[in-house]
Structure 1
Amino acid sequence: MTRPTKLNPERGDARTRLLEAARDVIRRKGFNATTVDDLCKAAGVTKGAYFHHFETKEALGVAAAQFWAETTGAYFADAPYHAPEDPLERVRAYIAFRRALISGDLAEFTCLVGTMTQEAYASHPAIRDACAHSMLDHAATLEPDIALAIAARGMEPEWTATDLARHIQAAIQGAFILAKATGDPAQARSSLDHLARYIDLLFDPAEPSKDQ
């Protein structure tokens, strides 16, 4: 959900370095194609150190999803989109913030848990559940602002703040998939532009024409 910090094999303990390696290598190669050798090389640790911390590749995948949730959660908690006073402006600023992150190599801005979910949802239920926890918890951080925006405008929609928060995440994940399919980050930015327009129409619909 955010751009990674560059892996530094000299920083942190072996487990942390392996999780950082998983974050970066899996986004680049995919979960199934990533090997223990890949992770050990990227982290600068031995296979003995790997198996000391992770008995199976599935255990590594679950831990990587949890690590992603922890690190990106802290990153987004400190992000500038929380600054506007109007809750709807905070939602708009969130989408603009996510759009601004879409640049450079695909592996630098796409989502680790989204990538792993696509590969492991049926074969590794534990990884799927850890990824779902990460995505849904992040979506939930938007719910208070959406609920406040609904209340401030006296809206009584058929949908809920939870529905919209999760739809926003679905749109962002879909934008990442489109960028991967085309090899073009601009496709993802365009998708988020449409998402922003959707939010505008949802909360501030145009007045009906007098001719209607």
Structure 2
Amino acid sequence: MWEWEYVYELLPKLLRALPATLAAAFGGFIMAVLLGILLAMASRSPNKFVKRATTGVVDFIRSTPLLVQLFFLYYSLPMLTPLAMSAFATGVIGLGLHYACYLSEVFRSSIDALPKGQWEAATALNLSKFRTWFAVILPQAIPPVIPIMGNYLIVIFKETPILSAITFVELLMRTKNETSISYRAFEPYTITGLIFIVVSLLLSLGVSRLEKRFRDKPAG
């Protein structure tokens, strides 16, 4: 039976875990964007070793489950190296590294779609590689894929429950803890599901408005 009195007592406790959940999602997203851009740039390197190494890393990470990567970073890495990270830092790095490999392909496709003349013009102006990338190529390649980036933000947010596997107290972990105390599962998991739905819908609405803004933006 659904007990509203228990719900009123439970809801504030669950909502207190929402900021940490959003922080992990946004932190992972920012890292995924920055690292994804670097991977996309490295995939176009004239150096064959750099290009092949980048492709190999991207393919390997995309081919292995995120949960396995998180376990390696949190449990195995400290045993192999002096490096030990908190559950939050591991979650952000794990999410960022995993989805950077997906976003790198998005950025690479957008870069490949630019007219060849842009590269030739930068060469004719004798621009350095740094200025070519950051003053000519990326400012044109990133705006068209901003809606796709927004969709990946939503995906990353929906993946945050997996961080409970490395003891990070996000929304799902807080729900499990409350369930273990009250021995009631119906209300906690239902409310958690509704919170995820509401936040995902709000993010989706924001992405849709951003997409409409860029679609309606006049050329030039």
Higher helix share: 2
Q: Greater relative contact order: 1 or 2 (C-alpha under 8 angstroms, separation 6 or more)?
A: 2
Rg comparison, structure with higher value: 2
TM-score (structure 2 length as normaliser): 0.24
